[in-house]
Amino acid sequence: MRVLHYWRAMWGIIGRELLRFLKQRERFISALVRPLVWLFVFAAGFRAALGLAITPPYETYILYEVYITPGLIGMIQLFNGMQSSLSMVYDREMGSMRILLVSPLPRWFLLMSKLIAGTAVSIVQVYVFLAIAWFYEIQAPLHGYLWVLPALVLSGLMLGALGLLLSSFIKQLENFAGVMNFVIFPMFFMSTALYPLWKIKESSELLHDLAKYNPFSQAVELIRFALYEQYNEHALIYTASAFMIFMLIAVIGYNPTKGMMVRKGRG
């Protein structure tokens, strides 16, 4: 097949996902409500709990909000990755995904195109969130909004690949919601999204170790450093490695001759 066929197929999948996203406004709003609640409501609760002044100076309060902003960006991408995978399970049950997967194009390419589409949607959501935070005076350096783009692409691919991996094991749509919650909340709360690693270590060695090796933590650290124009090589390598591992297992899982699909009688 020619390169043009691959190009058309990829943009067809991406365009379909973006069109679905534009039509599902509830999905867009819900993706923003979660992090905004954490940013505006829970951060104010932490300020009260810490006994910080309600009147200026706000240095400690603003520092806390600026710190958790990358964690909330990670939350957006984590939920979006799971929701994109939920659509995979839905499409597979309705038959459209099975038709796509039996096309002459390689299965890995089709899954990668789907992954890129989901990542593009998550990046749109992230920048809308950052724009709202900007007007709330939670602002990163201007160049940081460009620096963070490659980090968002890699973290979005990694979290989306995790969702694809999970969707390859799910037989019915009804089961996926429970699996999503079982994965999302432990990954988020056992990470550095809300607290630094050294602070977690003060409370629990076990939680510190879980957070340290949590791929979501490394994705958040990659975003956090990039947003403030810094480079975190360890987080980059860890996130990229996790993406390749998750994607490889997902491709195997969707292989009708080797993966979970053949065991479930789906191809």
Residues in the chain with pLDDT values less than 50: 52-62, 259, 261-267
Domain count, the chain: 1
d(C-alpha 267, C-alpha 256), whole Å: 5
pLDDT tens for 41-88 read 766 655 555 554 444 444 444 455 667 788 889 999 998 888 877 777
User: Which ranges of the chain does DSSP label H, i.e. alpha helix?
Assistant: 3-23, 25-37, 43-49, 59-94, 96-101, 107-135, 144-169, 173-189, 197-203, 205-212, 215-227, 233-253, 260-263
- What token pair was written down for 77? 């991408």
d(C-alpha 75, C-alpha 29), whole Å: 14
- What token pair was written down for 60? 């400690």
DSSP 8-state secondary structure symbol assigned to residue 39: I
DSSP 8-state secondary structure symbol assigned to residue 42: I
Q: Residue 181: what pLDDT?
A: 75
Size (the chain), residues? 267
d(C-alpha 4, C-alpha 209), whole Å: 47
Q: Residue 38: what pLDDT?
A: 77
Phi-psi region of 140 (alpha: psi -120 to 50; beta: other; left: phi over 0): beta
Q: Residue 43: what pLDDT?
A: 62
Q: Residue 56: what pLDDT?
A: 45
Domain that holds residue 190: 3-263
Torsion angles phi and psi, residue 190, rounded to 5: -95, 55
The distance of Cα 47 from the centroid of its chain, to the nearest Å, equals 27
pLDDT tens for 150-163 read 999 999 999 999 98
